Amino acid sequence: RIIRFKYNDEDSILAALTDENKVYRLPYTDFMNLVNEAENQKVTTLFLVENVIATSLPIKESIDELSLLVPIIAPEVWASGVTYEKSRDARKYESTGGKTDVITCYDKVYDADRPEIFFKSTAARTIGPNDAVHIRSDSNWQIPEPELGLVINKDGKILGYTIGNDMSSRDIEGENPLYLPQAKIWKNSCSIGPVIRLAETVEDPYNLQITCQIYRDNQKVVEGTANTKQLKRKYSELIGYLIKDNKIFDGTVLLTGTCIVPPNEFTLQDGDRIEIEISGIGILKNDVKLPAPKE
């Protein structure tokens, strides 16, 4: 797994995190530099990383002592929607007030050949662990969306897997699906990290357990779990539609849709804490903040 962290007066360090939680500094400026170097040498990224681990010593600090940053400064984050039944049903609920005898755009997109793919975030709006996700001041129904993130190159090749939180406003989208960008994009509305698990080390990306826990005043108030085997689509299908006739940049992250939705009566509050775990990848933890109104 690849991490980035702040270290004394150095801006950022790229490092490998082993399964035993040992941290090895890598001689590359960032994740894409590592990937490109492997390509130049015609070896896998895993080979380069294992070589560093075999020929150097881990740093003395433990992973918990490090100030982790986003593992990659993704130029863009895109997201897939309504890729799990759970999401289709939740979107239908918020847009109809709970009616089941109507066909909504969410029912149609779940069954359509073309998936829902939307623009989610830019590098400046995306945060990593140890930073707070923001909630909007004009919404009364906001949730995290725990999602597997694909780190891809400009040609759509999957380089690694990360964890993403597609923060969402259910009442804004529920009022009118045309409000989607406002229900999805604002400052600190997207979190990714804390690691990128190299693609070649993931045995079955369609069998990853995802868990989301939300804490309020140190009490767990929400817990949900699901598995990527419930995904309706293939990752190649989502990427295929994303890159079609598009310009995509190295290090783009594509979120694959949410499979966990908190109970309908739940909304996030300032001071909550969100923890999203994906098996074999790690735990993405973020506090929730309602920023003070601008003067």
Contact assessment for residue 171 and residue 260, using Cβ atoms and an 8 Å cutoff = no
CA dist list (Å): 75 to 126, 215, 257, 286 = 9, 31, 19, 21
Q: Is 258 in the site for Mg ion (CB under 5 A)?
A: yes
Please list every residue from 161 through 190 that binds Mg ion, using CB under 5 A.
Answer: 166
Alpha carbons 126 and 192: distance in angstroms, whole number: 7
Q: Of the candidates 16, 69, 82, 242, which one interacts with ligand DO4 according to CB under 6 A?
A: 82
Q: How many CB atoms lie within 10 A of CB 270?
A: 12
Please list every residue from 235 through 274 that binds ligand DO4, using CB under 6 A.
Answer: 257-258
Sign of the CA dihedral running 153, 228, 172, 267? negative
Name the helix (H) or strand (E) containing 7: strand 2-7
Structure tokens at 64: 């918990």
Q: Is 87 in the site for ligand DO4 (CB under 6 A)?
A: yes
Binding partner of residue 128 among ligand DO4, Mg ion, none, CB cut-off 5 to 8 Å per kind: none
Nearer to Mg ion, 144 or 194 (CB): 144
Nearer to ligand DO4, 45 or 258 (CB): 258
Binding partner of residue 91 among ligand DO4, Mg ion, none, CB cut-off 5 to 8 Å per kind: ligand DO4
Alpha carbons 46 and 27: distance in angstroms, whole number: 14
Q: Is 81 in the site for ligand DO4 (CB under 6 A)?
A: yes
Nearer to ligand DO4, 32 or 253 (CB): 253
Sign of the CA dihedral running 274, 279, 110, 88? negative
Cβ at position 277, least distance to Mg ion in Å: 17
Binding partner of residue 82 among ligand DO4, Mg ion, none, CB cut-off 5 to 8 Å per kind: ligand DO4
Nearer to ligand DO4, 154 or 229 (CB): 229
Q: Is 91 in the site for ligand DO4 (CB under 6 A)?
A: yes
DSSP 123-140: GGGEE-TTSEEE--TT-S
Q: Is 212 in the site for ligand DO4 (CB under 6 A)?
A: no
Alpha carbons 250 and 41: distance in angstroms, whole number: 18
Cβ at position 41, least distance to ligand DO4 in Å: 37
Q: Is 145 in the site for Mg ion (CB under 5 A)?
A: yes
Binding mask 219-238 for Mg ion (x = CB under 5 A): --------------------
Amino acid at 179: Y
Contact assessment for residue 121 and residue 190, using Cβ atoms and an 8 Å cutoff = yes
Residue 68's nearest CA partner among 201, 163, 203, 187 is 163
E strand intervals along 176-249: 190-198, 209-216, 219-227
Binding range to ligand DO4, per CB under 6 A, among 8-16, 74-82, 186-194, 223-231: 74-82
Q: Is 160 in the site for ligand DO4 (CB under 6 A)?
A: no
Q: Is 146 in the site for ligand DO4 (CB under 6 A)?
A: no
Contact assessment for residue 202 and residue 282, using Cβ atoms and an 8 Å cutoff = no
Q: Which residues bind ligand DO4 (CB under 6 A)?
A: 79, 81-83, 87, 91, 116, 145, 166, 257-258
Q: Which residues bind Mg ion (CB under 5 A)?
A: 145, 166, 258
